[in-house]
């Protein structure tokens, strides 16, 4: 158990819909990262927040957005869903926002878009 929690574990929805994925980092970790893992694209970095502020942006689509709240939990919002958005979405956290700090990954949310 990494200490990072993600809800829900599974999500099945239809094209065009909007969903919110939630992540609670390890106690004391200020930085949250979101990743997308799919069979064709592999593991892709989406976005990072550090203490409530956006720190780095990766291959995140404009239809996707995220935020980190004062209690440090984070939400990833996916809208106008397409079939290709079906993937495993991971959240990770680290103590600080530096890359040499270990990132602890949550168990993931499996999103299926029908």
Partner 1 sequence: AQSVTQLDSQVPVFEEAPVELRCNYSSSVSVYLFWYVQYPNQGLQLLLKYLSGSTLVESINGFEAEFNKSQTSFHLRKPSVHISDTAEYFCAVSDLRAQKLVFGQGTRLTINP
Closest approach, Cβ 11 to partner 1, in A, equals 16
Q: Choose the stretch contacting partner 1; rule: CB under 8 A; options: 18-26, 66-74, 78-86, 97-105.
A: 97-105
Q: Choose the stretch contacting partner 1; rule: CB under 8 A; options: 18-26, 60-68, 78-86, 94-102.
A: 94-102
Residue 25 touching partner 1 (CB under 8 A): no
How many degrees, rounded to 5, is the angle at CA 68 between CA 1 and CA 10?
A: 50
Q: Choose the stretch contacting partner 1; rule: CB under 8 A; options: 21-29, 62-70, 78-86, 106-114.
A: 106-114
Q: What are phi and psi of 113, to 5 degrees?
A: -105, 120
Residue 4 touching partner 1 (CB under 8 A): yes
| Window 38-57: contact mask with partner 1 (x via CB under 8 A) | ----xxxx--x------xx-
Residue 111 touching partner 1 (CB under 8 A): no
Euclidean distance between CA atoms 15 and 31, whole angstroms: 31
Q: Which of 24, 36, 74, 103 binds partner 1 (CB under 8 A)?
A: 103
DSSP of 72-92: S-EEEEE-S--GGG-EEEEEE
């Amino acid at each position: 158990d990494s200490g990072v929690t993600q809800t829900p574990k599974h999500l099945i929805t239809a094209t065009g819909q909007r969903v919110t994925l939630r992540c609670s980092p390890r106690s004391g970790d200020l930085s949250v990262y979101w990743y997308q893992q799919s069979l064709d694209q592999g593991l892709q970095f989406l976005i990072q927040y550090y203490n409530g502020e956006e720190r780095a942006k990766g291959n995140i689509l404009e239809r996707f957005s995220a935020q980190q709240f004062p209690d440090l939990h984070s939400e990833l919002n996916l809208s106008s869903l397409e079939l290709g958005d079906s993937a495993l979405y991971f959240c990770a956290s680290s103590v600080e926002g530096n890359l040499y700090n270990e990132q602890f990954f949550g168990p993931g949310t499996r999103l299926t878009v029908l």
